[in-house]
């Protein structure tokens, strides 16, 4: 079978979407099977990130051109059996579509987006999920949310296929990691790390307030707070919160970082904090666990399901709870070591090979059903 994948996110700093499709393609390429894959990319550098046994084709960067006609035109030329997309399919697609919808925060919490972006997602994703043959999502939480907001979907249409930390995220020498972040980011003090685009749902403002309160309550703690994540329309408010915190000299922003830098940041930190209000999966928490770091995170959305007892949970709306969670792990080395062990064990339950295998199974299920439906239709026509 020939499967096509919309991989326009690769090389464009689209964070979670980029990590997902890049990791999936790498795992597809490693599968021992006869299926053929073609990846449609937009960035000039994207082809170098994709395994050599996956063919790449260039599509437009502009989403109106890409989704309006360019992607559909390439699909007609290449004649794959199926197209896999994230969130949004092209307007006219001649083959069955499988869509990955990681979360529906744009419907449940549109305040996390600019008005135009929320409206665009609400319209294009609704169109896509109704025409798709299958919808993939990373957690039971997200599956339930999808079925709730799109109330007329068949429950069997939405399939949970968990994500995973990439194999590159692993424990490495703490001394080497510390030296690397010192050289790359000039981080010299011990630090607490958080990863995520600077946007409302990631709750960086609440985290900064909790960090400032922790520093004042526990002056013996010498850790700084390091935030790694792309600047967005909301970034000015996060930076303002840091300036107004009273501990601005102990807060550092790294901006968007590569996976190589992220590996060093995870391994060098004393603690990973993920205070997000809403996550469809919450991959950074799993990446930190895979690197052997203790994790504190929100008890909302998919996160309890993903960490499954291997992290300290808190209410992201309660600053005192965030303070207590961080301080407990930083002050209690035995507890921190225990959470590090549990995190490594939990991260090992997930792998991109399992994700790729299940995804390909869904592709084949879609094609088998499509062919069966076509056969029945042909027989019906023949009998008329």
Whether 374 and 325 share a structural domain: no
Please state, in angstroms and rounded to a whole number, the distance separating the CA atoms of residues 219 and 322: 17
Please state, in angstroms and rounded to a whole number, the distance separating the CA atoms of residues 150 and 152: 6
Assess if residue 324 is contained within a domain.
Answer: yes
- What is residue 31's predicted lDDT score, i.e. its pLDDT? 85
Whether 329 and 226 share a structural domain: yes
Whether 134 and 197 share a structural domain: no
Query: Which parts of the chain register pLDDT below 70?
Result: 373-384
Whether 277 and 159 share a structural domain: no
Strand extents, DSSP E, 149-293: 158-160, 191-195, 224-228, 251-255, 271-274
Whether 123 and 237 share a structural domain: no
Assess if residue 171 is contained within a domain.
Answer: no
Contact indicator for 88, 122 with CB cutoff of 8 Å: no
Whether 284 and 145 share a structural domain: no
- What is residue 383's predicted lDDT score, i.e. its pLDDT? 46
Whether 195 and 270 share a structural domain: yes
- What is residue 15's predicted lDDT score, i.e. its pLDDT? 76
DSSP summary character for residue 67: I
Whether 268 and 229 share a structural domain: yes
Percentages of the chain per state (helix, strand, coil), in multiples of 5: 50, 15, 35
Domain count, the chain: 2
Assess if residue 169 is contained within a domain.
Answer: no
Assess if residue 172 is contained within a domain.
Answer: no
Whether 315 and 368 share a structural domain: no
Whether 85 and 104 share a structural domain: yes
Assess if residue 244 is contained within a domain.
Answer: yes
Helical packing angle, 319-331 and 204-217, nearest 10°: 60
Could you tell me the CATH number of the domain that includes residue 227?
3.40.50.2000
- How many helices (H) and strands (E) the chain has is answered by 15, 13
Please state, in angstroms and rounded to a whole number, the distance separating the CA atoms of residues 297 and 314: 6
Please state, in angstroms and rounded to a whole number, the distance separating the CA atoms of residues 327 and 214: 7
109 by DSSP, 3-state: which? coil
Say how far residue 11 (Cα) sits from the centre of its chain: 15
Say how far residue 233 (Cα) sits from the centre of its chain: 19
Please state, in angstroms and rounded to a whole number, the distance separating the CA atoms of residues 288 and 344: 9
Assess if residue 326 is contained within a domain.
Answer: yes
What are 198-227's pLDDT values in tens digits?
999 999 999 999 999 999 999 999 999 999
- What is residue 369's predicted lDDT score, i.e. its pLDDT? 86
- What is residue 378's predicted lDDT score, i.e. its pLDDT? 45
- What is residue 259's predicted lDDT score, i.e. its pLDDT? 92
263 by DSSP, 3-state: which? helix
SS3 readout for 314-355 = ECCCCHHHHHHHHHHHHHCHHHHHHHHHHHHHHHCCCCHHHH
Please state, in angstroms and rounded to a whole number, the distance separating the CA atoms of residues 335 and 341: 10
Size (the chain), residues: 384
Please give the share of the chain, as a percent, with pLDDT higher than 70. 97
Q: Which helix (H) or strand (E) holds 39?
A: strand 36-41
- What is residue 376's predicted lDDT score, i.e. its pLDDT? 43
Whether 191 and 308 share a structural domain: yes
- What is residue 374's predicted lDDT score, i.e. its pLDDT? 58
209 by DSSP, 3-state: which? helix
Assess if residue 170 is contained within a domain.
Answer: no
pTM of the predicted protein model:
0.93
What are 25-75's pLDDT values in tens digits?
999 999 877 899 999 999 888 888 899 999 999 999 999 999 999 999 999
Whether 336 and 360 share a structural domain: no
What domain range includes position 235?
177-346
């Amino acid at each position: 079978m020939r499967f096509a994948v919309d991989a326009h996110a690769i090389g464009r700093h689209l964070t979670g979407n980029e990590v997902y499709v890049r990791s999936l393609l790498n795992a597809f390429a490693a599968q021992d099977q006869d299926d053929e894959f073609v990846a449609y990319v937009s960035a000039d550098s994207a082809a170098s990130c994709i395994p050599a046994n996956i063919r790449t084709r260039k599509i437009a960067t502009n989403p109106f051109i890409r989704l309006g006609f360019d992607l559909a035109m390439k699909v007609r030329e290449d004649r794959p059996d199926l197209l896999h997309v994230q969130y949004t399919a092209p307007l006219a697609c001649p083959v069955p579509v499988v869509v990955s919808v990681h979360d529906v925060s744009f419907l449940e919490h549109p305040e996390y987006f600019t008005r135009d972006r929320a409206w665009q997602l609400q319209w294009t994703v609704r169109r896509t999920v109704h025409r798709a043959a299958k919808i993939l999502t990373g957690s039971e939480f997200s599956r339930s949310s999808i079925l709730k907001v799109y109330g007329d979907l068949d429950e069997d249409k939405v399939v949970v296929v968990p994500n995973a930390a990439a194999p590159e995220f692993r424990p490495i020498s703490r001394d080497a990691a510390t030296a690397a972040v010192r050289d790359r980011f000039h981080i010299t003090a011990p630090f607490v790390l958080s990863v995520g685009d600077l946007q409302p749902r990631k709750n960086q403002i609440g985290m900064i307030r909790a960090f400032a309160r922790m520093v004042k309550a526990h002056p013996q703690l010498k850790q700084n707070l390091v935030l790694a994540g792309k600047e967005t329309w909301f970034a000015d408010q996060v930076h303002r919160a840091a300036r107004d915190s009273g501990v601005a000299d102990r807060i550092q922003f790294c901006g968007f970082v590569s996976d190589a830098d992220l590996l060093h940041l995870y391994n060098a930190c004393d603690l990973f904090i993920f205070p997000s209000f809403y996550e469809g999966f919450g991959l950074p928490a799993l990446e930190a666990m895979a690197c052997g770091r203790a994790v504190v995170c929100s008890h909302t959305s998919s996160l309890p399901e993903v960490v499954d007892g291997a992290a300290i949970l808190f209410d992201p709306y309660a600053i005192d709870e965030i303070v207590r969670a961080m301080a407990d792990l930083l002050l209690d080395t035995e507890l921190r070591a225990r959470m590090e062990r549990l995190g490594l064990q939990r991260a090992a339950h997930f792998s991109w090979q399992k994700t790729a295998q299940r995804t390909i199974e869904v592709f084949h299920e879609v094609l088998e059903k499509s062919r069966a439906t076509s056969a029945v239709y042909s027989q019906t026509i023949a009998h008329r």
